[in-house]
Structure 1
Amino acid sequence: MSQEPRQAPGPDDGDRTVGDPCYGRRGFLVAGSAVAAGLFFSGGTAPAAAVEAGEPAGSAAAAEKAADDQVARILRRIRAPRFPDRWFDITRYGAVGDDATDCTAAIRAAIRACHEAGGGHVLVPAGDFRTGAIHLLSGVDLHLAEGSRLAFSQDPAAYLPVVPTRYEGTECYNYSALVYAYRQRDIAVTGAGVLDGRADATHWWDWTGGPPPNESPDKTLLLTMAADGVPVEQRVFGAGHYLRPNLLQFNRCENVLLDGITVKDSPMWNIHPVLCRNVTVRRVVVDSPHGPNNDGIDPESCTDVLIEGCTISTGDDCIAFKAGKDADGRRVNVPTRYAVVRDCEMADGNGGVTIGSETTGGVSDVFVRDCRMSSPRLERAIRIKSNPQRGGTIANFDVRRVTVGQAADSVVEIVLNYANVTAGDFPPDLHGITISHLTAAGAPRALNLLGLATDPLRDIRLHACRLDGMEEENSIQYVERLRLDQVWINGVRVDN
């Protein structure tokens, strides 16, 4: 960005004077090669559609076409798995939908029979089926009929023995996810039924704080093991430890489909594909707004991901793209790349669509289209978070046609001081962020952009965006080449 602040062009220039040179309601603070800005505009009226582009129209159109072409290439590669027309009803293997009988063995037997027959559908009919851990095998679609509910045990022992997993970006052996697959291909969970994790204040969620037992010592131990290079096989948790499992985790799998199901009240993250390829999450409802760290959908170190038509309300981020954490993330060093999110609705959550905070392997080529986000408990709509201990390249994140009703903090937040960490040997390389055709109706502020003095954010572009009902000044510090093009805040054009 230019070292000199420049007002947005247009007939109202006379009303857009630079105020206080240090931090004005209509001014910039310039420091070295990075820019810190405070922008807050009120009053005035913007036209229904912004005109007079701040850059050549062909340039914006060419960039949008290039992004559309890349989305098309990604979508051509993603193919949902298909299954033979064989059906294995779990009630034929002894399951009883009375909300009392333990159906774990029956469900496992049906999955094994389906797999050994060459694949097909394991049917969960209408009813309430109590179960422990469910492990999917290749070729199996776990299909939940309308009116069915898998009610997962609240006993941690039901998720033993331990399995290879990733806990907040670090590999270990821990409790199985409630639905789990490891090194399988062509697997699915489909239908109109419900997967109920049954976590609450006295089961699973109570491990997050307060008096012991809680997860804090185990989280510290796991990170120390990873930093010290302890082999993954020796990082064994599970019984006697307090690292919560995910509701659904698919680890090192290929050709994964989730379609139509409702998931609720997970012990931790709800849907967590990790180190997977070709993942489709379609028409899924995530109803988990009350639990701690109850992220909705968290693809981690995955390639070719489609998330579409989902409705998400969580106690943490709605969708979060991740790629491993710190020392262990550098050891594995696998990025998340080539992902499309489209036609989704987000309500409660810390972020609508998020990258991070586990960014160590890198996250790139993520495209968000035609999503709607609004809740008094939605903190941010678009969020990127990392810090100089995480590292990784975060690039080519392209957001278009997002409608935000209400947000509780910033509409767009991109920060490199996550968890108040501002020093480290692995600063992220964050650049190439484009947000276009985004509208917002109300929030405390439009933008919270915070790089570091030694590691600025670079090449962030907002195009054809309108943000109304903003109550406070933007917070913009240590950003290079921030481009505002046809951007209106509270009715005033703020192009630079």
Structure 2
Amino acid sequence: MKIIKSNLFYNLICFLAIGIVFSSCKENKKTTVATSAFAAADTIIASIKNPEFPDKTFNIMDFGAVADGVTNNTEAINKAIDSCSNSGGGKVIIPSGDFLTGPIVLKSNVNLHLEEGATVLFSKDKNDYLPVVLTSYEGTEMMNYSPLVRAYKQKNIAVTGKGVFDGQAGNDNWWPMNGNKRFGYQEGEPSQRDDHNLPRLRKMNENNTPVAERVFGEGHQFRPSFFEPFECENVLVQGVTFTNAPFWILHPMKCNYVRVDGVTVRSHGPNNDGCDPEFSKNVHIDNCVFDTGDDCIAIKSGRNDEGRRINIPSENIVVENCNMKDGHGGVVIGSEISAGVRNVYVRNCKMDSPELERAIRIKTNTIRGGFVENVFVKNIQVGQVKEAVLKINTYYAIYDNQEGHFIPSIKNIHLEDVQVENSGEYGILIKGRSDNPVKNVTLTNVTIKGAKTPVSVENSEPIVFKNTTINGKQY
């Protein structure tokens, strides 16, 4: 597959979008920014070609796999993948049945295919995820337990089918490491918040410690990601279901050309984000169901100093035809956002749950910094959210002081054709910074009902309302 250079591709998309906006406005003054911009989204989608594989199959049963839910099939599955890749590629089949395994290592030109009725059960033995490998935790690279499904510097890879990946995480396994009693943590037990874990990793980030020296794994409490393609190109995840995840579920890290299609994520553990593209570009998330314990989709680009050093913005990301249920947010940008995010398109999605906190959310602070620009949201149906339809927060903090010297830049956020039945505490909630207020937020053809406070805005240019009604009042 021919790869288009990032800057050239970005410039092409910008030129295309601007040209269409200009042309459309000449022909029809009622054409809106969001409507015109989605031509650029279609260009991004067209650039992402599904990987193609030779017509060869490798059944894991032929490599010694046993479908009893007890026998460890790590060696059999990975032998099948190696054989497939070494022979030029094809399809590795996991047939109907229960297959226990440790980490699966995906290789170039391999389609790992789960047939209907196949359940891949990941081992609860943490030693199975050693030795440590290069991975990332909340926006900082490190050496840690292997992700459950991992690909590193591979091309033309896929995970497809109608089967289930069951991480078997829970209150008796990975989740207590979070340090939250709701997830099985017991007072006095070690957790990720202890000095030898997160505080140590944060200091390594700040000091630019070489990644090879950031060794954690055994004796530490960092949970692994579920599926993490790292520095991969041309990635497809299609049809499968992910459940009971230790940590983030789909985490394309430094990837280019990624499609997530028809995937179901149902996992309610701590930090169980559904899909987190990080330092990644040209990503299409389509026709998926997200029912999660954290953000449904969270677009990221590194944490603090590390994000600024790596300096790869996440860009050209299209989310469409998805159903967001439980979660901290439907489509979220941040908080690990220090390299910036731009060109995000969300359309034709449904978001509805008493446990869904926000529909569209942007979160950062002055330690993260970063920028967010060119976010287009169109044709979204929101049943119920807890806090707000749109929340922009530049004071985001959880554990510690989050005030620094990197003022975020947020601009060009457009919502159009959005219908909301119950918006919870706020309709629109914006907390910008006086040093650099939020700029160019528009709402067009938006109807919001049930907001206790219709609009709360601090340090933002005036929102532009066009044919927008909140609690029956025209804005």
Alignment TM-score, normalising by the size of structure 2? 0.90
2:269 to 291, 296, 300: 291
Tell me the distance in 2 between the aligned counterparts of 1:129 and 1:73.
40
Q: Residue 436 of structure 1 corresponds to which residue in structure 2?
A: 416
1:220 deviates by: 1.2
Preserved contact between residue 249 and residue 272 of structure 1 (Cα < 8 Å)? yes
**SS state of the match for residue 329, structure 2?**
strand
Give the gaps of 5 or more residues in structure 1.
Answer: 1-54
**SS state of the match for residue 418, structure 1?**
coil
Matched, 1:309 2:279: no
RMSD over equivalenced CA pairs, Å: 1.5
Q: Residue 437 of structure 2 corresponds to which residue in structure 1?
A: 456
Give the gaps of 5 or more residues in structure 2.
Answer: 1-24, 180-186
Preserved contact between residue 35 and residue 378 of structure 2 (Cα < 8 Å)? no
1:80 deviates by: 1.1
1:114 deviates by: 0.3
1:212 deviates by: 2.7
Tell me the distance in 1 between the aligned counterparts of 2:391 and 2:30.
23
Q: Aligned letter for 1:334?
A: I
> Superposed, which structure 2 residues align to 1:7-46 within 5 Å?
none
2:94 to 115, 124, 130: 124
- Cα distance per residue 1:338-359 (max 9 Å; x no partner): 0110000000000000000011
Tell me the distance in 2 between the aligned counterparts of 1:424 and 1:59.
43
After TM superposition, the structure 1 stretch with the greater mean CA deviation from structure 2, 253-262 or 477-486, is: 477-486
1:202 deviates by: 1.7
Q: Residue 187 of structure 1 corresponds to which residue in structure 2?
A: 157
Preserved contact between residue 422 and residue 452 of structure 1 (Cα < 8 Å)? no
**SS state of the match for residue 400, structure 1?**
strand
After TM superposition, the structure 1 stretch with the greater mean CA deviation from structure 2, 258-267 or 484-493, is: 484-493
2:213 to 231, 234, 238: 234
Matched, 1:467 2:467: no
After TM superposition, the structure 1 stretch with the greater mean CA deviation from structure 2, 322-331 or 468-477, is: 468-477
**SS state of the match for residue 252, structure 2?**
strand
1:138 deviates by: 0.3
1:58 deviates by: 4.4
Q: Residue 143 of structure 2 corresponds to which residue in structure 1?
A: 173
Tell me the distance in 2 between the aligned counterparts of 1:427 and 1:373.
31
Q: Residue 480 of structure 1 corresponds to which residue in structure 2?
A: 461
Tell me the distance in 1 between the aligned counterparts of 2:29 and 2:69.
60
**SS state of the match for residue 459, structure 2?**
strand
Q: Residue 41 of structure 2 corresponds to which residue in structure 1?
A: 71
Tell me the distance in 2 between the aligned counterparts of 1:171 and 1:481.
39
Alpha carbons of structure 1 residues 60 and 78: separation in structure 2 relative to 1, 3 Å: farther
Tell me the distance in 1 between the aligned counterparts of 2:324 and 2:188.
33
Preserved contact between residue 256 and residue 279 of structure 1 (Cα < 8 Å)? yes
Matched, 1:321 2:299: yes
Q: Residue 260 of structure 1 corresponds to which residue in structure 2?
A: 239
Tell me the distance in 1 between the aligned counterparts of 2:453 and 2:461.
22
2:313 to 335, 338, 343: 335
Q: Residue 426 of structure 1 corresponds to which residue in structure 2?
A: 406
Q: Aligned letter for 2:190?
A: P
- Cα distance per residue 1:450-478 (max 9 Å; x no partner): 11222321111111100012233432111
Tell me the distance in 1 between the aligned counterparts of 2:26 and 2:447.
20
Q: Aligned letter for 1:213?
A: P
1:211 to 171, 181, 188: 188
Tell me the distance in 2 between the aligned counterparts of 1:61 and 1:413.
26
Q: Aligned letter for 1:406?
A: Q
**SS state of the match for residue 427, structure 1?**
coil
Preserved contact between residue 260 and residue 285 of structure 2 (Cα < 8 Å)? yes
1:359 to 337, 351, 354: 337
> Superposed, which structure 2 residues align to 1:383-398 within 5 Å?
383-398=361-376
2:428 to 447, 457, 462: 447
- Cα distance per residue 1:352-373 (max 9 Å; x no partner): 0000001111100010010000
Q: Residue 16 of structure 1 corresponds to which residue in structure 2?
A: none
1:60 deviates by: 5.3
Q: Residue 471 of structure 2 corresponds to which residue in structure 1?
A: 490
1:57 deviates by: 10
Tell me the distance in 2 between the aligned counterparts of 1:76 and 1:372.
23
**SS state of the match for residue 68, structure 1?**
helix
Q: Residue 13 of structure 2 corresponds to which residue in structure 1?
A: none
Preserved contact between residue 256 and residue 280 of structure 1 (Cα < 8 Å)? yes
Preserved contact between residue 454 and residue 471 of structure 2 (Cα < 8 Å)? no
1:56 deviates by: 11
**SS state of the match for residue 361, structure 1?**
coil
Tell me the distance in 2 between the aligned counterparts of 1:211 and 1:393.
39
Tell me the distance in 2 between the aligned counterparts of 1:100 and 1:109.
19
Q: Percent identity?
A: 43
1:220 to 199, 207, 217: 199
Matched, 1:98 2:74: no
**SS state of the match for residue 61, structure 1?**
coil
- Cα distance per residue 1:371-421 (max 9 Å; x no partner): 000000000011110111111121001000010001111111111011165
**SS state of the match for residue 467, structure 2?**
strand
- Cα distance per residue 1:49-97 (max 9 Å; x no partner): xxxxxx9994551524540221122112111101111110001101111
Tell me the distance in 1 between the aligned counterparts of 2:27 and 2:383.
28
1:480 deviates by: 1.3
Give the length in aligned residue pairs: 439
Alpha carbons of structure 1 residues 286 and 426: separation in structure 2 relative to 1, 3 Å: same
Tell me the distance in 2 between the aligned counterparts of 1:479 and 1:344.
30
Tell me the distance in 2 between the aligned counterparts of 1:185 and 1:447.
42
Alpha carbons of structure 1 residues 331 and 96: separation in structure 2 relative to 1, 3 Å: same
Preserved contact between residue 140 and residue 306 of structure 2 (Cα < 8 Å)? yes
Preserved contact between residue 101 and residue 123 of structure 2 (Cα < 8 Å)? yes
Alpha carbons of structure 1 residues 493 and 476: separation in structure 2 relative to 1, 3 Å: same
**SS state of the match for residue 331, structure 2?**
strand
Preserved contact between residue 111 and residue 157 of structure 2 (Cα < 8 Å)? yes
Q: Residue 368 of structure 1 corresponds to which residue in structure 2?
A: 346
Higher Cα Rg, which structure: 1
Alpha carbons of structure 1 residues 237 and 81: separation in structure 2 relative to 1, 3 Å: same
Tell me the distance in 2 between the aligned counterparts of 1:391 and 1:66.
29
